[in-house]
Amino acid sequence: GGTTITGGRYLPVDAVLGLTSLSPRTTYHARVVATNEHGTVTGGPVTFTTLGTEPVITDVSVGDVGGTTARVSLTVHPGLLRTSVRAEVSASSDFSGARSVELDALSGAASESREATVDGLAPRTVHHLRVVATNRLGTTVSGPVTFTTTGREPSVTGTAATATARSVTVTATIDGGGLAGSAVARLSPDEDLSGAVVSTPVNWSEGSTPQASFTFTDLAPRTAYFVRITATNVLGDASGAVVDVTTRGGAPELGSVTIRNVDTTSADVEAEVDATGLPTSLTVQVAADATFTEDLDEYFLGRFTDEGAVSRRLALVDLRPGRTYFVRYAATNAAGTVRSAAATFATPRPVGIEINDGDESTADTTVTLRVTAPSGAVALRIADNAAMRNARVLPVTGSVPWTLAAATDGPTVRGVWVTFHDEAGRVLAMRSDTITVVPPDDPAPGQPGADEPEDPPADDVAPVVLSARVVKVSTSGAKSGSSTRTRLSVAGRDSVSGITQVQIRTKSGTTRHNVTARKSLSGVFTAPARSGMWVRLVDAAGNSSKWVRVKG
């Protein structure tokens, strides 16, 4: 190499020449030759030796040993030269068939650390590792380091299965043996798992925790199945226990009935229903007695196929005030019919009075007034006329005996009026009720003229309904403030024991009115509907007439 010194100078000048591409660790001889227009001068020789050494490898170690991987750590001094580094791993001590892992090259005058992960190893095997570093001066090979990879066959424990009507889910705890692997589930209606359906495999990587959960769908309800999970890794496979499970679809399941929002004529009923996956018809039964025979009404809530408890609610309306009701749910599917335990509730009576519990007629002028007072009432004022003349004042009580004016000529409507008063004497409410007083056709037993045979004749003759028609539709507040009331005029006869009861049937049930036994009946009665009614009569011997449709 050379350099040019600018002319016109007469002083010494330092010249620096860089020498490159020299060989390391080599002795060189150098001299300087200077030339100008007057000639050439050659300086004396200089001798020097370049630096550099073979790589030095120290601190080789292996850690984080797994089933198929290990981590190698080492320190390399490059000897001032660019140095390549690799790790060689073999299952043989002579390193035959070794696989290499290249590490980052280095250069310079300082030692540097290197790390690398060696993968693709055979599990549960003794391996030999060495490090090889190479630069221009040669190759250095470290001493061997021996390590053993981990790993074991998988295991499957704790197999459990759950079912819906058309699916089965099976789970288990899998020990993957510290290795990557996979698992499948097999399901069959046969215990030997012949012809089994095989699930999609679940795979896991080395060092992770396997999640074993498999779901089979589109199965037949109410069917027994057998299921098993098998896990596999490079060292082998293992199967869990065969578990039997039956898909759901049994008889419906009903929870207890809850009653809410009870009012004078309405209430909400609710219960949890599990159809178990089968088409299930759900009915609510409402009756006036615990045996569900008196005034039974049934309501259809629908047809369901849910799995798991679902709340089903029904709003009951058009109930009768002051009455006790019994409610139960009935669910039916292909596996059977289930009824819930009965729940009971009582509708409150509205503020007001009722004569003889709502009877529409009486032959006895001595009656009982049922009183329902508003909140805050402390006194009652009762009279037999709307002007409240000759009224009586009584403390608030639930029942008051009262005497009506006798009938004059045939059935006569009599009324009772009441005002409710608070502590300051203020009127809180005014209510009234009426009843038809019917004079008896025959003297009462024991009275002069009464016919009292010692042995009454046997009665197997049913009464006869002579007429039944709607005579009045009003909105009087007599019973419940301002509710609509329908009145029926009913006439009939019974030739032997006498008529004792009038029954009025509608689509919502049957209403019964008791009367004093009589051979001829003519009275007015409250009906629970405006149309679609039938009437029959019952005599003292229990004989019933035919049902007769009420005329509008």
What distance in Å separates the CA atoms of residue 215 and residue 202, rounded to the nearest whole number? 12
What distance in Å separates the CA atoms of residue 215 and residue 193, rounded to the nearest whole number? 16
What distance in Å separates the CA atoms of residue 460 and residue 335, rounded to the nearest whole number? 46
If you ran DSSP here, which 8-state letter would residue 421 be given? E
Over residues 253-308, the pLDDT tens digits come to 999 999 999 998 999 999 999 999 899 999 999 999 999 988 899 999 999 998 88
Mean model confidence pLDDT for the chain: 89
Neighbour-count burial for 144-177, b at 16+ CB within 10 Å, e otherwise = bbebebbbbbbebeebebebbbbbbbbbbebebb
Over residues 60-88, the pLDDT tens digits come to 999 999 999 999 999 999 999 999 999 99
Split at pLDDT 50, 70, 90, the class of 456 is: low
Q: Which residue has the higher pLDDT, 190 or 19?
A: 190
- Say if residues 292 and 285 touch (Cβ distance below 8 Å): yes
Give the least confident one: 111-120, 525-534, 540-549: 525-534
Domains present along the chain, CATH in parentheses: 155-246 (2.60.40.10), 253-346 (2.60.40.10), 352-437 (2.60.40.10), 464-549 (2.60.40)
What distance in Å separates the CA atoms of residue 363 and residue 404, rounded to the nearest whole number? 11
